């Protein structure tokens, strides 16, 4: 779907996080003039303890079992920002409701720069005041949050999340589902492994392996990242059609 014009009057958000919903909906409103949002939840979540719905935007919240998924609509996006939750939601809605990658939109805030030589897959969110430099490759479901910069020839694999104020130098590879903490700095020519979490403020000067939590200056491995094992177990349960209450 073309995301350059203001033609999307309704967007369907899969999953619910009270921190993500206002960010996503306000960017969608600014980009597309969208005032209507269907939020589809596959599990019940706690009632938000803070504001998430702007007064001039219209929200409708549904359970996935009761929602009418139109087969020709390509107006889907995530209502969450965390890597492992996006991963769960994508596979869940693909399995039970046939929401393929091609049906997700992209959102690139107009205050950000995305180089013409760079490539992106669907489900990409680029928040305000960011830079994605030349010849980058951005996978499916990637989020780059406000005031972050991604250097030339970087690769951000599926579901990677770059938190606010991160500085990524050139020729850096971020593995699938990896999360880079707020304000971290990654120097040239390094690799961050799949499912790894880099702590806020870290200075990463060498490769970090898959499946770990690492932080510090210089950044070093602290322990295994158990979040993804739990996410995989939860997804397996859902795909066996045994949804948590």
pLDDT of the chain, 245 residues: tens digit per residue: 344 344 447 999 999 999 999 999 999 999 999 999 999 999 888 777 788 889 999 999 999 999 999 888 899 999 999 999 999 999 999 999 999 999 999 999 999 999 999 999 999 999 999 999 999 999 999 999 999 999 999 999 999 999 999 999 999 999 999 999 999 999 999 999 999 999 999 999 999 999 999 999 999 999 999 999 999 998 998 888 754 44
- Residue 127 and residue 120: Cα distance in Å, rounded? 15
Predicted local distance difference test score (pLDDT) of residue 6:
44
> Partners of 212 in the beta sheet?
224
- Residue 133 and residue 122: Cα distance in Å, rounded? 18
Provide DSSP, the chain: ---SSS--SEEEEES--TTHHHHHHHHHHHHH---EEEEEESS--PPPSS----TTSEEEEEEGGG----TT---EEES---HHHHHHHHHHHHHHH---GGGB--EE-TTSEE-TT-EE-SS-EE-TT-EE-TT-EE-TT-EE-TT-EE-TT-EE-TT-EE-TT-EE-TT-EE-TT-EE-TT-EE-SS-EE-TT-EEPTT-EE-S-B-TTEEEETTTTEEEEE-THHHHHHHHHHHHHTT----
Which domain, by its residues, includes 218? 107-224
> Partners of 132 in the beta sheet?
114, 150
The 10s digit of each residue's pLDDT in 66-118 is: 999 988 889 999 999 999 999 999 999 999 999 999 999 999 999 999 999 99
Whether 203 and 133 share a structural domain = yes
Whether 99 and 114 share a structural domain = no
Whether 127 and 31 share a structural domain = no
Whether 132 and 89 share a structural domain = no
> Partners of 36 in the beta sheet?
10, 58
Q: Which of the listed residues 103, 138, 163 is the one where a domain comes to its end? A: 103
For the chain, what is the mean pLDDT?
93
Q: Cα Rg for the chain, rounded, in angstroms?
A: 18
Whether 120 and 200 share a structural domain = yes
Whether 81 and 121 share a structural domain = no
- Residue 221 and residue 74: Cα distance in Å, rounded? 41
Whether 17 and 95 share a structural domain = yes
Other Cβ atoms within 10 Å of 71 Cβ, number: 7
Whether 19 and 37 share a structural domain = yes
Counting Cβ atoms within 10 Å, is residue 160 exposed (0-12), middle (13-18) or buried (19+)?
A: buried
The 10s digit of each residue's pLDDT in 155-174 is: 999 999 999 999 999 999 99
- Tell me how long the chain is: 245
Q: What are the Cα distances from residue 221, in Å, to 57, 74, 139, 159?
A: 43, 41, 25, 21
Whether 94 and 129 share a structural domain = no
The pair of structure tokens assigned to 110 is: 């107009």
Provide DSSP, 112-128: SEE-TT-EE-SS-EE-T
Whether 122 and 202 share a structural domain = yes
Whether 87 and 25 share a structural domain = yes
Total number of domains in the chain: 2
The pair of structure tokens assigned to 53 is: 């719905």
């Amino acid at each position: 779907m073309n995301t350059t014009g203001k033609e999307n009057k309704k967007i369907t958000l899969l999953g619910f996080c009270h921190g993500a919903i206002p960010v996503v909906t306000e960017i969608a409103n600014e980009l597309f003039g969208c005032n209507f949002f269907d939020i589809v939840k596959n599990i019940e979540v706690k009632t938000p303890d803070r504001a998430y719905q702007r007064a001039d935007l219209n929200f409708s919240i549904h359970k996935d079992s009761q929602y009418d998924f139109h087969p020709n609509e390509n107006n889907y996006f995530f209502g969450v920002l965390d890597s492992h939750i996006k991963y769960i939601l994508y596979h869940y809605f693909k399995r039970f409701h046939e929401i393929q990658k091609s049906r997700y939109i992209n959102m690139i805030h107009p205050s950000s720069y995305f180089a013409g030589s760079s490539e992106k897959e669907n489900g990409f969110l680029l928040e305000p005041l960011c830079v994605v430099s030349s010849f980058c490759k951005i996978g499916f479901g990637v989020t780059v949050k406000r005031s972050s910069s991604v250097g030339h020839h970087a690769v951000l694999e599926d579901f990677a999340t770059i938190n606010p104020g991160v500085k990524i130098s050139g020729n850096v590879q971020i593995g699938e589902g990896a999360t880079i903490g707020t304000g971290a700095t990654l120097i040239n020519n390094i690799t961050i492994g799949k499912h790894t979490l880099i702590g806020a403020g870290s200075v990463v000067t060498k490769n970090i392996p898959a499946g770990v939590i690492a932080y510090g200056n210089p950044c070093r491995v602290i322990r295994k990242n158990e979040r993804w094992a739990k996410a995989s177990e939860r997804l397996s349960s859902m795909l066996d059609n045994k949804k948590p209450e």
